A and B are shown apart, each in its own frame.
Chain A
Amino acid sequence: MTEDQARPARREFLGKLGVLTVAAALPADVARAEAAHAARATSPWDMSWVDRVTAAPYKVAVDTTKIQNDELYTALDILDTFHEVYGSDSGREPMQVVVVLRHFAAAMAQRDAMWERYGIGEERSVTDPETKAPAKRNPFLRPSPNAKESWERNSPIEALVARGVIFLVCNRATMGLASSLAKRVNKPVDEVKEDLRTNVVPGAILMPNGIFALVRAQNAGCAFYRNG
């Protein structure tokens, strides 16, 4: 997977703030704390999800590396089981599920338009269950009109987001996908990267990479779960 050229450069950013200069003049631990605080305050990454996770009584991070439905079923199953055992507080789910989409799974967080424009279905060998042809839309986003069972209707990404599930998306994998797609459609890489970066589905948040997201979620108290 290629590195993301557009990844925000933290050191450059800290340098702009003059934080490193200030740090030199302070005791090491104070300087570290100051620098961390300054970075937190203006980080280009949206970390607001951490507060939602911290506030929940029960929480889990589901690691998803393959482009498939299994982990979406798992997320639904965990939500439902905790609901069954602990009920809900004024309609709020007791369980906060975080799904980390990384490696191949990062494509699951792209809007329909990206799947159509860049042929993500062909690139990633994903067949649309409706057309039986390479998907020209994101088939993980909403249920098929033929979905009969409630778990088929309730596990697509839009339905899970509506129940509060947070999707964290590996930026590195997304930019890797953009590089492949750029070659495929013969477009400038930076243009495709920008397109993918600005077209993640509602409820999904780009993180520097998937491992960062997994570790940060566990540091916020999440259990770790991976199928298999």
Chain B
Amino acid sequence: MKTNPSNSRRSFLGQLGLMAFLPSIARRRALEPNAEPSPWDMQWVDRVAKAPYKAVIDSTTIAEGNALNLAADIMDRFHDVYNGPDDQTRVVIVVRQMGTPLAFQDALWDRYAIGEDQKINDAATKAPARRNPFLRGSSNEPARGDKIEPLVARGLTILVCNRSAMNWARSFAEKTKRDVEEVRTEFRNGLVPGAVLMPDGIFALVRAQNAVCALMKA
């Protein structure tokens, strides 16, 4: 059947050379009614649901950290208008597809040369980043509020597409000729503070909207 080219997930998987991953959609479980409780941490929903103002930002590319800039702006403007505490406004960023590395710790950026791979320079060294440059400012930069650490301290939640994270892990395992499962475990445990793995990014986006988050695209 002819299909139109699109920026769909399949295109993304194709970019990573991971079309072979698609059949694993097939193993989607039809859980029996008596299945074990879900292993996914859904506590963020309660935090978000309590806030009177809330937004979810869909981040499918790193885009120079635009999602973080947008999150900071939403928090600041709601703070200005309502003059309330930070927990009155909850922002959720869903990182998926090519945006997923935003949620990887420095150690992963260093070990797998993500800066070089994604052509992202570190403002401090002007060279390909060997740390996650979106996590915190560098010593020679003025302090900035649109970095992950200060935003998480203000209540930002980052939801990470597990499917994308595992695809990134597989890709780097192949490049470095390491065991895929070992690297996947490393990525699963190597997320920035405040980040929560979700089964996939679409689930996270839909669930956040069902908790009455407004939808924004980074």
Min CB–CB distance B94 → chain A (angstroms): 11
Tell me whether B3 and A149 are in contact (CB under 8 A).
no
Tell me whether A80 and B205 are in contact (CB under 8 A).
no
Query: In the complex, which residues of chain B have a beta carbon less than 8 angstroms from the beta carbon of A224?
Result: 209, 215
- CA distance in complex: A91, B30 (Å): 11
Tell me whether A84 and B31 are in contact (CB under 8 A).
yes
- CA distance in complex: A129, B3 (Å): 11
- Confirm or deny: A165 has a beta carbon within 8 angstroms of a beta carbon on chain B: no
Query: In the complex, which residues of chain B have a beta carbon less than 8 angstroms from the beta carbon of A81?
Result: 28, 199-200, 202-203
- Confirm or deny: B25 has a beta carbon within 8 angstroms of a beta carbon on chain A: yes
Min CB–CB distance A84 → chain B (angstroms): 6
Selected from B4, B25, B27, B35, the residue in CB contact (under 8 A) with A73 is: B25
Minimum CB distance partner of B56 in chain A: A223
Contacts between the two chains (Cβ within 8 Å), count: 114
Tell me whether A228 and B30 are in contact (CB under 8 A).
no
- Confirm or deny: B126 has a beta carbon within 8 angstroms of a beta carbon on chain A: no
- Confirm or deny: A101 has a beta carbon within 8 angstroms of a beta carbon on chain B: no
A87 touching B29 in the complex, CB below 8 Å, given contacts A68-B4, A81-B200, A223-B210: no
- CA distance in complex: A57, B210 (Å): 8
- CA distance in complex: A165, B198 (Å): 23
Tell me whether A149 and B1 are in contact (CB under 8 A).
no
Interface residues of B in 1-37 (CB under 8 A from A): 1-4, 6-10, 22-23, 25-31, 33, 35
Query: In the complex, which residues of chain A have a beta carbon less than 8 angstroms from the beta carbon of B26?
Result: 149-152
- Confirm or deny: B38 has a beta carbon within 8 angstroms of a beta carbon on chain A: yes
Tell me whether A91 and B209 are in contact (CB under 8 A).
no
B interface residues, Cβ below 8 angstroms from A: 1-4, 6-10, 22-23, 25-31, 33, 35, 38, 40, 42, 199-200, 202-203, 205-210, 215
A interface residues, Cβ below 8 angstroms from B: 57-60, 66-70, 73-74, 76-78, 80-88, 90-91, 95, 125-129, 135, 139-140, 149-152, 221-225, 227-228
